[in-house]
Structure 1
Amino acid sequence: MTAPARPADPHDVAGAAPPAPAARPPARDRYFDLLRAVALFRVVLYHLMGWAWLPVVFPSMGVMFALAGNLMARSLKRPAVQVVRGRMRRLLPPLWLLGAIGVTGMLVQGWSPDDDGHPGWWWFHLTYWILPLSDPPYAEGVAGIQGYVGEDWAAELAGPLWYIRAYLWFVLLSPLLLKALRAQPWVTLAAPLVLSGVLQFGWLTIPGDRIPSAITDFSTFGACWILGMAHQQGVMKRLPQYVVPSIAPIIACVGLWYALRQDFGTGHDLDSIPFAQALWSFATVLLLLHLSPSWTEWPRRLRRWDRVISLLNSRAVTIYLWHNVCILIAATLYDRLWGFPVLELNVPWLLESSWPVLLLVWILLAGCVVAFGWVEDLAARRKPRLWPST
């Protein structure tokens, strides 16, 4: 197991909240909502199973950043300061709730300024739980609750927060990125990929701990974010229809070839090879955005999933923030079944399987949606709902 409403646009920071029940979402948004729901499910599945091939089948983080970039470009028809402030308002309250619960739990278990020997910096770094311009700190080696919460739960709690940090920086940079995209579209699209290659091959070294991680995230997923903006701006429509299906597989193959040369599949995944991740994610997103079917209504095979897709989009931030902790709790609870000899002797294969744990994870996530999801509604200035599946 390894331990991602605004007035004119109803979508949330990491997911998409549906419009008011009386309104019908734009046709293109149905496709985007499907991509976002699949991306979120894949993130949970990957963090439980740890299968290295899952990010290859569907690079969720690249897809999520691209969809967010598309929505950001759409929103920037309004004043940039207003848009950035609105995005931050939707992003931060769910994080604050997570931090209030998590940091309180760490303090109760003995976390204190003396842990790192620099009390002043400790207090300063706590502000990253309020404004995550860098990774928020957490207590290392925190004990769990025997039989209920596994050890080092704080690390699992903080694990997904890199995405929130990266998302915040993309939001802050979006007005400049959009101007650059309009002035030099192809240079702007290629710049993060070039930067990723420069960092991967050691041609540029950045000192420190916090700045390099932020720059690596930008170089890895920046092209996907900008690609989403380019799609919304109609940049890709200027190309002949055959161009994207011709070049995207080549870029993807280069990324996969490089990953294989870096021992991909033997204890490594795309996340540990940023340059390969950047190329593969960019190529996949390029193809997905090129397809972009205009659905006036859900295809027949997808109609039964309408409520599930709506729920995942409405509570994408809550699910993403809490899924690692839910995985840890589910695995800890399921391990308790080994204490029943009848199960251990007769169905050991069932106790070793991760699929029942996955079901338990989603049951716990449903509880998180009910308990914490309403914060997303408050952040978007909507009436709080416990189960927004419509």
Structure 2
Amino acid sequence: MGAHSKGVVRPAPSAVPSDTAPLPRPRPTARDRYFDTLRALALVRVVAYHTFGWAWAGFVFPSMGTMFGLAGTLMAKSLERPALKVVRSRLRRLLPPFWFWGAFVVVAMLIHDWMPGWQIVYWIVPLGDPPGNAWGEQAWEILWYLRTYLWLVLLSPLLLRVFRLAPLPVLALSLAPILVLTFLWAGPDNRVGTALWDLSTYLFCWMLGFAHRDGVLQRLRPAPVVVLSLAAMACGGWYAFAHQADVGTYDLDENPLAQAFWSAGFVLLLMWAKACFRIDFAWLTRFRRTNRVVTVFNARAVTIYLWHEIALILAVPLIDRFWDVPAFERYLPLDSQWFLFGVGWLLIGVFVLLCGWVEDVAARKKPRLLP
């Protein structure tokens, strides 16, 4: 104890608070590096999958289930504020980057003989799959994630209320919709049906985010969690391999029920481990460059996701031009998918620099090249 502990120390006149004295700025809330790292890894896995097409990638790391689980946690945290304000904030952060990206895609498809009908409204608010032509399909086919995320955001105020009535039963029942669609009713064959399938596939992961935020997972014993997680993954894995003849592959992305159960078990383990062992990856901040990369990935997650397919598309003709340079042809592995992966990431970096500022504007922050 110092000398000040022996008596009352009066503050100097300049330190006495007054009506005119400026209040100290609150410290920014420290980010959870565990969740940030998972999101960064999920984005890397998405780009790798779209480059190499590895059918086994979803078993190693179900990136979309993980991202929905993380988003559910953040949504539950945000809903401590008025629901309408939270939903508006989420829409404001999501839609401007989507509009900016969509303007380029729509114009490019119009140039390539595409003429939309009234469904073009889905390019304004993607509650259904935005229309497009075959020429631009590789670019716009990723929008199912934004559509599913948007629906979950809109439903979250109701879902969170229902979840808090009976957390564990509601969490378990969140797998029921995908079972109904698989075995009882396949839903309508239109945009509504497609949205129902994706929503049902990842509903459990989103609700897991609620469970983590409310401390439900932290109260669970290790043995039941591990057993249930492994059982769900075993069910999903078995169903994927048992029905690969139906879809021509064991890829989880082609089998919604297998995806739902594998992601449920995998993300449950991730979320429970976080809650039980209080994993925070705070050590990551000691590695300046790695910590910087994780920061950029999280601040530019929407930009990376939206533009990564276009980056991979552009990488192909760019590499074709490399063959015209004798030194490149001789010393660079131009025919390697790994080289395509590397060039793709370089182009993603360019898009982050050129387009990432839209995320800052959407979040009402000062635009920056890099956060």
TM-score w.r.t. length of structure 2: 0.87
Partner of 2:127: 133
Q: Distance in 1 between matches of 2:269 and 2:244?
A: 26
Q: Distance in 1 between matches of 2:182 and 2:368?
A: 45
Give the alignment partner of residue 331 of structure 1, picking from 292, 295, 316. Answer: 316
Q: Distance in 2 between matches of 1:24 and 1:311?
A: 17
Rg (Cα) greater in structure: 2
Equivalent residues in 2 for 1:14-163, closer than 5 Å: 23=28, 25-26=30-31, 29-113=32-116, 122=117, 124-140=118-134, 152=135, 154-163=136-145
Give the alignment partner of residue 357 of structure 1, picking from 336, 340, 345. Answer: 340
Superposed displacement of residue 246, structure 1: 2.4
The runs of 5 or more residues in structure 2 that have no matched partner are 1-24
Residue type at the aligned position of 1:101: F
Q: Distance in 2 between matches of 1:33 and 1:342?
A: 40
Taking a change above 3 Å as real, the CA distance of residues 296 and 164 of structure 1, as seen in their structure-2 partners, is closer
Partner of 1:276: 258
Superposed displacement of residue 343, structure 1: 6.7
Taking a change above 3 Å as real, the CA distance of residues 230 and 364 of structure 1, as seen in their structure-2 partners, is same
CA deviations on 1:4-23 (whole Å, 9 max, x unpaired) are xxxxxxxxxxxxxxxx9963
Residue type at the aligned position of 2:312: I
Residue type at the aligned position of 2:121: T
Higher helix fraction (1 or 2): 2
Partner of 1:233: 214
Q: Distance in 2 between matches of 1:291 and 1:95?
A: 33
Superposed displacement of residue 24, structure 1: 5.3
Residue type at the aligned position of 2:137: A
Contact 1:192 1:218 survives alignment (8 Å): no
Contact 1:193 1:275 survives alignment (8 Å): no
Pairwise CA RMSD of aligned residues? Answer: 2.3
Contact 1:33 1:309 survives alignment (8 Å): yes
Superposed displacement of residue 342, structure 1: 7.7
TM-score w.r.t. length of structure 1: 0.83
Q: Sequence identity of aligned pairs in percent?
A: 48
Superposed displacement of residue 219, structure 1: 1.1
Q: Distance in 1 between matches of 2:195 and 2:75?
A: 20
Partner of 1:10: none
